[in-house]
Amino acid sequence: MQILYAFAVIATLIFAVYLYWRVFLQPHLQIPIRSFAVHDLVERPSLTSASDITVNQFLGFIEEAKAAGLRFVGLDDFLSSTDHRDILLTFDDGLESIYKYAFPILMKNRIPAVVFMLDAYEGEAASWDYRSSARVHLSAPQIEEMSASGLVTFGNHSATHPDLTRVSRDRLTSEVQTSTDKHRTAFSYPFDRFNEDVISAVKHAGYMSGFCLLSGRPSLWRDDFARPRFPLNRFDNRFTFRIKLRGGKLMWLEVVKSRIIGKFAPFTYDWQGRP
């Protein structure tokens, strides 16, 4: 009897999540999600961060993308492409691990990518993040070398990684502005937190496109300044990569999962006392 009861509860929960997908999420995802976001790359999975992926996971993702007949393209090609086989690989936060682990793999496979930087932390420890101590941001020479490869382009991810929906208007303007000497045309929202005001500030700062993840407001996903990306995280494996890359009947599970994991991200900001 107890087993039957447990089964009924689980079945109801799954059905509720499916309904949530059909009613609230799917209507806003008429186009497939063709861009992907990586945060930090590590050699071994850490217990403290769901957003890390291991180097092996990263290699697995690339293999699955190739096996699915998809093509990694650069930012400009991605924005102008109508071919659903063209996909975009992005990295948020601009951590040194991108240079150390991802860049050699990108070079070897000739894969273009976009790195979204935190201007105020170039070459510095990631003290904006509670897990920060050992994490360091890309240095100027590393950025230069990656740029010179012709494979990696850079976008902005704000200056200091605040929740842009909770800062003053002046702070919002200064967080999204891009210095003229390294004008960047794409922006990604810290903690996936954005609203119409944030999007409008990003447009006014001169960006041509904006990228989010899947935890923000679905009604904004159709905007060119809120292009949804599938985050890759430590709970991913070859099977979930396949779903994320190829779509199909189980995609709703991955979208809901990404949404739930993403909802936890802004706690980092609260933990830090909203700098």
Residue 95 contacts residue 51 (beta carbons within 8 Å): no
CB of 224 to Zn ion, least distance (A): 20
DSSP string, 61-107: HHHHHHHTT-EE--HHHHHH---TTEEEEEEES-BHHIIIIIHHHHH
Q: How many residues bind Zn ion (CB under 5 A)?
A: 3
**Residue among 139 and 160 whose Cβ is closer to Zn ion:** 160
**Residue among 190 and 262 whose Cβ is closer to Zn ion:** 190
CB of 10 to Zn ion, least distance (A): 34
**Residue among 112 and 262 whose Cβ is closer to Zn ion:** 262
- Asked if 236 is part of the footprint of Zn ion (rule: CB under 5 A), the reply reads no
**Residue among 239 and 264 whose Cβ is closer to Zn ion:** 264
Residues 129, 95, 72: CA angle, nearest 5 degrees: 130
- Asked if 52 is part of the footprint of Zn ion (rule: CB under 5 A), the reply reads no
**Residue among 245 and 265 whose Cβ is closer to Zn ion:** 265
Residue 127 contacts residue 172 (beta carbons within 8 Å): no
Helices 238-246, 251-263: crossing angle, 10 deg rounding: 110
- Asked if 93 is part of the footprint of Zn ion (rule: CB under 5 A), the reply reads yes
Rg value, the chain, Cα: 19
Which region among 11-19, 86-94, 206-214, 217-225 touches Zn ion (by CB under 5 A)? Answer: 86-94
CB of 185 to Zn ion, least distance (A): 18
CB of 49 to Zn ion, least distance (A): 12
**Residue among 162 and 190 whose Cβ is closer to Zn ion:** 190
Using CB under 5 A, pick the residue from 52, 92, 119, 236 that binds Zn ion.
92
Q: Which amino acid is at 122?
A: E
Site string for Zn ion, 166-195 (x = CB under 5 A): ------------------------x-----
Tally the C-alpha atoms within 13 A of residue 14's C-alpha that lie toward its C-beta: 8
Other residues' Cβ atoms within 10 Å of the Cβ of residue 233: 20
CB of 74 to Zn ion, least distance (A): 21
Residue 203 contacts residue 189 (beta carbons within 8 Å): no
CB of 192 to Zn ion, least distance (A): 8
Other residues' Cβ atoms within 10 Å of the Cβ of residue 70: 17
**Residue among 11 and 260 whose Cβ is closer to Zn ion:** 260
CB of 187 to Zn ion, least distance (A): 12
CB of 19 to Zn ion, least distance (A): 31
- SS in 3 state form for 173-227? HHHHCCCHHHCCCEEECHHHCCCHHHHHHHHHCCCCEEEECCCCCHHHCCCCCCE
User: Which residues of the chain form contacts with Zn ion (CB under 5 A)?
Assistant: 92-93, 190
